[in-house]
Amino acid sequence: MIRDKVIFVTGGAGFIGWNTILRLCNDNKIIIYDNMYRHSKSDTFNLNVDNISIIKGDILDYELLYSSIPENTDIVLHFAAIAGVDTVLRNPVKTMEINTIGTYFLLKVVKEKGLIDKLHRLVFLSTSEVFGVTAFKSSEDTSTNLQPVGEARWVYSVSKVAGEHLINAYNKEFGLRSTILRPFNVYGPGQIGEGAIHQFVVRAIKNEPLQIHGDGTQIRSWCYIDDMVDGILLSLENDKAIGEVFNIGNPRGTLTILSLAEKVIYLSGSSSPIIFVPKNYIDVELRIPNIEKAQRILNYNPKVDLNEGLLRTIEWYKSRINKVY
């Protein structure tokens, strides 16, 4: 268990960040550093917890970032990033700046404030997109795949690969006790943005058309948010995670995008039609994780199957149908 720690969380108001904080806030002091551009709309976001403080700040604001990290920080969770296909396509420059320069700034602050020798752990959320177009049971040793320059779709993955190299360099050269996690398609209550399950569920409970880009044969493995947070906490608790990279996902939650849409409609009792629209961007056609390393070292085992996770997600959004998500 992580207890009595001071934890600094960049991007802590986001979906994964906030759910992680909810699991840590009762026993630790949490400092959230977030620009609030796309914060989680969970109704626990304004939870009155004395252990949580929020600093509205940009990861590219070096002076504010420097002054915001306490000198007694024990853990840094670096979750701040630009993500989501549509957002990345609209903002490729900002994506590169925040995901690479922002990561560099954070690491520089940690070093300049003398925190490297003090930190229990720094966890960096990377992405499964580092594997490129096709990732079939890809392990952590599988080569990262840099796609063609000029295709904005890959700016996100390239920026995350750069972040991984920076984190690893600080581990090797300066002894930073860091861990890199690669999430595979995380979903659940409170998610906002461009994720397929969020979009499908919100539309299904309103009986609106579910829109599929392309023919719907793209394959994904879906990981429920609680299982993702389990992976994060396990990586904090186990010293064998230092200097390592882990895939965090649920291979058992694998199906096509079309099958996912059909499942959401069925489980939500919706009358929504499915419509197909042209895909105007390069997509990942196959993404299934190999989680054997996380199982072996972290004792990580996802517990929530896809049907159960979807039912929980659907019920959560149904209870908030009059809110905007």
What positions carry a catalytic annotation?
156
* Position with higher pLDDT, 89 vs 242: 242
The string of pLDDT tens digits covering residues 224-241 is 999 999 999 999 999 999
**Fold match between 6-186+224-250 and 188-220+252-318?**
no
Question: What is d(CA 233, CA 228) in angstroms, rounded to the nearest whole number?
Answer: 9
Domain boundaries, the chain: 6-186+224-250, 188-220+252-318
Q: Which helix (H) or strand (E) holds 56?
A: strand 52-56
Q: Does 39 score more than 60 pLDDT?
A: no
State percent of the chain over pLDDT 90: 74
Question: What is d(CA 200, CA 184) in angstroms, rounded to the nearest whole number?
Answer: 18
Q: Which helix (H) or strand (E) holds 294?
A: helix 292-298
Q: Are strands 75-78 and 286-289 parallel, antiparallel or unpaired?
A: unpaired
Q: Are strands 75-78 and 6-10 parallel, antiparallel or unpaired?
A: parallel
Q: Domain 188-220+252-318 belongs to what architecture?
A: Alpha-Beta Complex (3.90)
Q: Which of 267, 279, 273 is nearest to 314 (CA)?
A: 267
User: How far is the CA of 79 from the CAs of 87, 178, 271, 305, in angstroms?
Assistant: 17, 13, 37, 25
Single pTM value for the model: 0.93
Q: What is the pLDDT of residue 63?
A: 97
Other residues' Cβ atoms within 10 Å of the Cβ of residue 130: 23
Q: From its phi and psi, is residue 217 left (phi > 0), alpha (psi between -120 and 50) or beta? A: alpha
Two structure tokens written together for 182? 């690669």
pLDDT band at 61 (very low <50, low <70, confident <90, very high): very high
Q: Is 116 helix (H, G, I), strand (E, B) or coil?
A: coil
* CATH number, domain 6-186+224-250: 3.40.50.720
